Structure 1
């Protein structure tokens, strides 16, 4: 029994040691083509297990080893002037199923795969020093840069889709499944991965949630359940909806700006947002041309106004949840908005019952 426990302990220790980390020494069977024994080590992307080892090994040479779990995907490290992927240069590497490894330079000229050009960019690699090593389910990508100055602090890391490695025909990269933009201090080894344009993100999310997800439903409830307080209900309804429209418009503009700055691919979210804005504009136009109460077409106008408003609320709620998902805002935002909708729904049921009882 003691022997079995000892063997189990050895297996566990070996398994732990097989995981790459900065707390243990790096023992590679196949050594990189340059000495890495005195390199600094920093965890730069905890979510994906990316670790960066680096050192200025000569007056004009900076050496790097980026490691990540080998998930049958390419890994990339980019050097950017402004933290954006577009316009940056990157080193990308992968290990094929047959054990062969590939590392190439890329210039990220645009958002599409066709604009990510291999063997281009402003990174000057030191000849005969680049290598890729796969060991213990981890891939290590080692390279050296010839540079007159310290490399840019804006470092970008990317992870490709599983099982879709670049073809040796053209080495075209597929759209990455995850990436992160960081600010790296070479002196302290501190890597900050603060979400870019955080204030703009929050403004976009909060304004749209407040307008389309909260104020619009409140305005609808006022018009539906408080008509006995005429004309207060009418002025309250128009004021609330007008405020919601203005806030929502600003929120959507923030979304356009955010998409441009992040070079984000959010086509579905964007299309839904534009459609919701169009519906809101139609409601404004309908309000301006509404017929009089005694008009024969007033009931059709009421049906139109009612139906369009409900469609807008449903689509807005769905798009808000989708936006929370895209922004990675977390469970708290989902729960908070869901609780708000449940509260609105519960209040509406109570008021609807009261309305039918008074008829």
Structure 2
């Protein structure tokens, strides 16, 4: 009992410590902070709002001239790069972003990047469509926060803003030509510069993309392995095991086929370069079609060809499941869905693996 009480006491202490750290790093718009000592332009009359509540991002901006706008973005300092992008349609591809970071030796760096594609190799430094005012860029840290400041020469900045934070401790280096590593998290919102209202942007294709991923996950990544488990470990229940196996695999194939078609729809809409993901998906579909055809030409039990048919059917199924699981995780990364998708699918896989291990031990003992 004393140990249980000690554990709960420790949890409460840890929670209070985390809340204290967050409160120390948090910044409110009504905070009386003087930025003029660090920023290259006047910041006294800037509009202010929290734009990414989960990450405690605070954006300040003001129209400083007829064709001049000032921006100051702040966030908790996590030894990562900080980015503010401007998009015409709320999407990453085709937008431009100001990115800032500070090396361990104190050297500060601010660069404009052109976001040509989601592939980090296509995120080009020293490129973009933003007309940045000369000598207006600054990035600095204070009180466990990082600040990115710059000015744009434009009549009206684009209203769709993109926010992103880089991976922990992985800053761009000269060795990699200052290429950005894939962001750790991102958000997007539309900003009305007159009223200051900010609304989260939801991509019109997000639903289709997630449906594509969910169907493939259910079909190729969950139902297909379950069907294989039924076929291997429940043969004593003949012919129920066969009809169950066949029914599960048919539904798996149909789910996967619809998900495969939606993948091409998504690719056509967002013009993303997902060659490897697509090619693996085509391979999985081909293997699935071959499995369906193999059932139609299944030799009779006891015949000589049946041995070779079994070898092909079993191994082709195993290969398909391996490729499917790998491509599902790869697709989650490409879709930038975050830890919730990774975690959910990983838990499902772990449960299926535990069940398979228990059933395999039972099968070995029976033999």
Q: TM-score, normalised by structure 2?
A: 0.72
Residue 27 of structure 1: which of 26, 31, 34 is its match?
34
C-alpha RMSD over aligned residues: 4.2
Q: In 2, are the aligned partners of 1:159 and 1:176 still within 8 Å (CA)?
A: no
**Distance change (3 Å), C-alpha of 1:157 and 1:283:** same
Does 2:121 align with 1:121? Answer: no
Where do 5+ consecutive residues of structure 1 fail to align? 1-11
| Offset, 1:124 | 1.6
Q: In 2, are the aligned partners of 1:30 and 1:133 still within 8 Å (CA)?
A: no
3-state SS of the aligned residue for 2:314? helix
Does 2:220 align with 1:212? Answer: yes
Pick which of 320-329 and 152-161 moved more. Answer: 320-329
Residue 337 of structure 1: which of 325, 333, 348 is its match?
348
1:177 is aligned to 183
Alignment of 1:32-71 (within 5 A): 32-71=39-78
| Offset, 1:211 | 1.7
| Offset, 1:66 | 1.0
1:249 is aligned to 257
Alignment of 1:276-355 (within 5 A): 276-293=284-301, 295-313=303-321, 316=324, 327-328=337-338, 330=340, 333-334=344-345, 337=348, 341=352, 345=356
Q: In 2, are the aligned partners of 1:77 and 1:91 still within 8 Å (CA)?
A: yes
Q: Distance in 2 between matches of 1:250 and 1:275?
A: 15
Q: Which has the larger radius of gyration?
A: 1
| Offset, 1:182 | 0.7
Q: Distance in 1 between matches of 2:344 and 2:57?
A: 28
Q: In 1, are the aligned partners of 2:120 and 2:182 still within 8 Å (CA)?
A: no
Residue 109 of structure 2: which of 96, 102, 105 is its match?
102
**Distance change (3 Å), C-alpha of 1:343 and 1:93:** closer
How many pairs align?
340
Q: TM-score, normalised by structure 1?
A: 0.73
Q: In 1, are the aligned partners of 2:81 and 2:165 still within 8 Å (CA)?
A: yes
| Offset, 1:296 | 1.3
1:192 is aligned to 200
